[in-house]
Amino acid sequence: MMNRVSLPGLRQIFNAQKLALCIAISAMLCGLSVPCAHAADTQDPADYRQTADDLLSGIFDSYKNYTRIQFEDLVADDFAPSQSDFINNVESGFYSGNILEITYFINKVLPAGNKLSVSFSWQKKTVPRAGSAPLLTKGKAEFVFKKQGDKWLLVQAGGDDPF
């Protein structure tokens, strides 16, 4: 047997759905949103950019005044694809010439959970060990940092190698 709904009952259901739709549209148009549980953990985009600048500055300062132990402290054990290969490459770059200057410009900062992706353009002026004229190299790279405890560590590097 088929259940019958009276016409006044259908009107109430229809009006309730219309009212809910109107409230939802009004909330979207007015920019209202339901607060999320993680809202207290959000960081201002300018703060992420400052964090990225501090992280890059720390990496490049450590590179200019290179010691393997100090540089290893900035790179995560789970660096992809290999922490030791990456640090060996950095060390090789450091010993290949005298670093005169490294500058960078942050192009984009993307936070995602406990990670921070930083895309940047860089240029490095060095004098090769062979004693030739200063050499200027330029490129674009992306570093991904991961927050472990209260410390940010480099977990991935891509693009042109600034080291």
Q: What is the pLDDT of residues 16-55, one digit of tens each?
A: 445 444 444 444 434 433 333 343 345 666 789 999 999 9
Contact 158, 122 (CB under 8 A): no
First-last CA distance in the chain: 79
Quick check: is 33 in a domain? no
Quick check: is 98 in a domain? yes
CATH number at residue 77: 3.10.450.50
Tell me the torsion sign for CA atoms 45, 46, 52, 58. negative
Q: In what order do the strands lie in the sheet with 151-159?
A: 75-80, 151-159, 135-148, 115-128, 97-112
> How many domains does the chain contain in total?
1
Range of the domain at 94: 43-159
Q: What is the pLDDT of residues 65-105, one digit of tens each?
A: 999 999 999 999 999 999 999 999 999 999 888 889 999 99
Strand, coil or helix: what is 71? helix
